[in-house]
């Protein structure tokens, strides 16, 4: 009888713990879905709309480069966001910074949806657009690492890969929502789409932000932060990272470069290239991205789970090698002119090459830094790589195709980054329960 009585509180404790983990998973996914939606909506609009409405030029290539340059500006603001949110995330807590970053992203995105065009207010239109893009970048710079930490630091020791992959799932879900929204509004007549239809996805994100902030208000601070906050209060996180975690920071930057460059080459540059150079319809291109994003919802957590079984570092290294081998064939398929080949390349790149590195990333990167500087270290490493890789990806790809006359040149660029990423991943510290 005593055994029965003792079992009840234990069962209740297990149920309560599982309930908290579900809430944490939902909260981290909700935020990265919204941040991903807002950030990627800009990328889609840059390829389809902004080059016409905010950066008009007699030369279409010049207008496209200007729109992609503004897209890149958001990435170069992300390290600043990483430093700001990372500092307070390490000193004050993960939870408060995540809600603040989400609010900032939502405000900037809604304002983009309300922004007058170049024809209406002249030069102030691109100036304000770039300003709001910078606000998006600062916000996202504080979001991703914080969500990754919230999931990993709450997770059981042997499930950090799986739980750490949950905020990563926000990226394909955000992409799915973003491309889905644009796939719907591109069905409008061209004049309606260009005048007001493109604004609807930006304005609609306000509802997602309200829901996300409510969900995040229901979760607790992470146990690892609570255990380290007395020590964290005595250090300057950025100074500590630059003094004592330089190797970890450099390895994180190098380890991230190939994955983030591949992703934004696929989801931003390929839209413009397939539409203008290959003559595919916007709907066809967006449908390919939506298919890849939908399948990522399965493959990203699979690779996170696999990292718990065989080691996050081992999975990551394998992903880097696969990308080095596959990048050239993938971009040859994209440039073949066949819509069927284009779809195959997009799906493989997103669901295998990208997911195999993105899925185990939370568990692997969090193992590189001690808890009192982890938010700052991860944010800085991830966002510097995002600026150098993701932000410049559409610009570099456009210049390479223009210089060499073939998209295969982009494949060579990705191969080089994949080799760098593989070497960095091999040199990283494996998570405690990893390989």
| Structure token digits, residue 435 | 């390989």
User: 293 with 173: CB under 8 angstroms?
Assistant: yes
Predicted confidence band at 434 (pLDDT cuts at 50, 70, 90)? very low
pLDDT at 182: 82
Q: Which of 137, 75, 172 is nearest to 393 (CA)?
A: 75
Predicted confidence band at 32 (pLDDT cuts at 50, 70, 90)? confident
pLDDT at 340: 93
Across 138-142, 238-242, 356-360, the highest mean pLDDT is recorded for 356-360
Q: Return d(Cα 292, Cα 394) in angstroms, integer.
A: 19
- Residue-wise pLDDT tens digits, 392-426: 888 899 889 988 988 999 999 999 999 999 999 99
* pTM of the entire predicted model: 0.81
- CA angle 239/253/299 to nearest 5° reads 130
- Residue-wise pLDDT tens digits, 184-216: 888 888 888 888 988 998 898 888 788 888 877
- Residue-wise pLDDT tens digits, 78-112: 888 888 888 888 887 777 888 888 888 888 889 98
Question: Does position 305 have pLDDT exceeding 90, yes or no?
Answer: yes
The residue with tokens 């295998």 is 352
Question: Does position 431 have pLDDT exceeding 70, yes or no?
Answer: yes
Strand, coil or helix: 95: helix
Strands (DSSP E) found in 384-424 = none
Q: How many CB atoms lie within 10 A of CB 72?
A: 23
Question: Does position 147 have pLDDT exceeding 90, yes or no?
Answer: no
Q: Which long-range contacts (CB under 8 A, 24 or more apart) does 66-70 make?
A: 66/126, 68/268, 68/269, 68/272, 68/394, 68/395, 68/398, 69/395, 70/46, 70/126, 70/129, 70/130, 70/133
Question: Does position 116 have pLDDT exceeding 90, yes or no?
Answer: yes
| Structure token digits, residue 274 | 């397939």
Q: Return d(Cα 353, Cα 347) in angstroms, integer.
A: 9
Q: Return d(Cα 287, Cα 183) in angstroms, integer.
A: 7
Question: Does position 10 have pLDDT exceeding 60, yes or no?
Answer: no
Q: What is the DSSP letter of 57?
A: -
Task: Find all residues with CB under 8 Å of 121, minimum gap 6, and list them.
Answer: none
pLDDT at 133: 85
Question: Does position 308 have pLDDT exceeding 80, yes or no?
Answer: yes
Counting residues of the chain whose pLDDT is more than 90, the rounded percentage is: 29
Q: Return d(Cα 153, Cα 112) in angstroms, integer.
A: 34
What are the boundaries of each domain within the chain?
A: 10-427
Gyration radius (Cα) of the chain, Å? 21
Question: Does position 62 have pLDDT exceeding 80, yes or no?
Answer: no
Predicted confidence band at 353 (pLDDT cuts at 50, 70, 90)? very high
Q: Which of 399, 384, 401, 393 is nearest to 417 (CA)?
A: 393
Question: Does position 282 have pLDDT exceeding 80, yes or no?
Answer: no
Counting residues of the chain whose pLDDT is more than 70, the rounded percentage is: 90
Q: What is the DSSP letter of 236?
A: -
**Residues present in the chain in total:** 435
User: 64 with 272: CB under 8 angstroms?
Assistant: yes
pLDDT at 433: 60
Q: Return d(Cα 358, Cα 147) in angstroms, integer.
A: 14
CATH number of the 10-427 domain = 1.20.1250.20
Burial per residue of 387-425, b for 16 or more beta-carbon CB atoms within 10 angstroms, e otherwise: bbbbbbbbbbbbbbbeeeeebbbbbebbbebbbbbbebb
């Amino acid at each position: 009888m005593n055994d029965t009585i003792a079992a009840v509180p234990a069962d209740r404790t297990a149920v309560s713990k599982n309930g908290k983990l579900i809430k944490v998973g939902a909260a981290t996914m909700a935020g990265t879905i919204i941040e991903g939606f807002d950030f990627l909506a800009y990328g889609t609009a840059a390829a389809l709309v902004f080059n016409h409405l905010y950066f008009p030029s007699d030369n279409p290539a010049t207008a496209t480069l200007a729109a992609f340059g503004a897209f890149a500006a958001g990435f170069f603001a992300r390290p600043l966001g990483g430093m700001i949110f990372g500092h307070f995330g390490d000193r004050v807590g993960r939870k408060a910074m995540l809600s603040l970053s989400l609010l900032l992203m939502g405000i900037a995105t809604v304002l983009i949806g309300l922004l007058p065009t170049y024809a209406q207010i002249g030069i102030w239109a691109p100036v304000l657009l770039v300003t709001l893009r910078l606000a998006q970048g600062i916000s996202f710079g504080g979001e991703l690492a914080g969500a990754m930490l919230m999931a990993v630091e709450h997770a059981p020791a042997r499930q950090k890969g799986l739980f750490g992959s949950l905020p990563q799932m926000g990226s394909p879900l955000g992409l799915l929502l973003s491309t889905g929204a644009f796939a719907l509004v591109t069905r409008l007549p061209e004049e309606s789409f260009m005048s007001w239809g493109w604004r609807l996805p930006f304005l609609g994100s306000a509802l997602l932000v309200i829901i996300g902030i409510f969900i995040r208000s229901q979760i607790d601070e992470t146990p690892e932060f609570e255990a380290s906050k007395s020590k964290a209060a005595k250090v300057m996180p950025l100074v500590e990272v630059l003094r004592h975690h330089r190797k970890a920071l450099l390895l994180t930057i190098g380890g991230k470069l190939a994955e983030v460059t591949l992703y934004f080459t696929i989801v931003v540059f390929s839209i413009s290239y397939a539409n203008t150079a290959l003559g595919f319809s916007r709907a066809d291109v967006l449908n390919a991205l939506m298919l890849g994003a939908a399948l990522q919802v399965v493959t990203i957590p699979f690779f996170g789970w696999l990292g718990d079984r065989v080691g996050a570092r081992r999975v990551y290294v394998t992903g880097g090698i696969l990308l080095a081998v596959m990048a050239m064939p993938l971009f040859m398929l994209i440039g073949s002119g066949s819509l069927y080949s284009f779809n195959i390349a997009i799906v493989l790149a997103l669901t295998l090459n990208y997911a195999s590195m993105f899925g185990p990333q939370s568990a692997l990167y969090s193992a590189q830094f001690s808890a009192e500087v982890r938010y700052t270290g991860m944010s800085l490493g991830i966002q510097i790589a995002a600026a150098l890789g993701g932000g410049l990806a559409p610009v570099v790809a456009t210049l390479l195709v223009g210089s060499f006359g073939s998209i295969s040149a982009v494949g060579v660029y990705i191969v080089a980054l994949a080799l760098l990423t593989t070497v960095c991943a091999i040199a990283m510290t494996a998570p405690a329960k990893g390989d």
